């Protein structure tokens, strides 16, 4: 077991919860599609959507990116799998 990895994996959700839901709402987009073609891609707004969903703001999350509702549970499963791997358990063989 790597204690540093476990600590980092445990800190990630804590830090995201401590940040305000609108922490990433302002600022310049780093999306190449948005910058070069002035068109939003399917991932545009995903970070903002996930942050609002984490804080229970479902409508705001839906507004930023509708796929966030599907992506957040997958991210949670992926995070759980990474955390459990550090203890020698692999729950999801397909992740």
- Give the CA distances from residue 58 to residues 49, 65, 67, 68, in Å, rounded to whole numbers and listed in that order: 9, 11, 12, 10
| For residue 4, pLDDT beyond 80 | yes
Going from N- to C-terminal start, the domains of the chain cover 3-85
pLDDT band (50, 70, 90) for residue 95: low
Model-level pTM greater than 0.85? no
pLDDT in tens, 6-45: 999 999 999 999 999 998 888 777 788 888 898 888 888 8
DSSP string, 23-63: TTTSS----HHHHHHS---TTTTHHHHHHHHHTT-HHHHHH
């Amino acid at each position: 077991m790597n204690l540093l990895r476990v600590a980092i994996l445990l800190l990630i959700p804590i830090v995201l919860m401590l940040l305000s839901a609108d922490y990433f709402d302002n600022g310049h987009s780093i999306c190449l599609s948005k910058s070069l073609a002035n068109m939003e891609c399917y991932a545009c707004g995903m970070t903002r959507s996930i942050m609002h969903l984490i804080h229970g703001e479902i409508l705001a999350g839906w507004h930023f990116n509708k796929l966030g509702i599907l992506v957040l549970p997958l991210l949670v499963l992926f995070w759980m799998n990474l955390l459990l791997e550090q203890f020698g358990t692999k729950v999801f063989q397909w992740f």
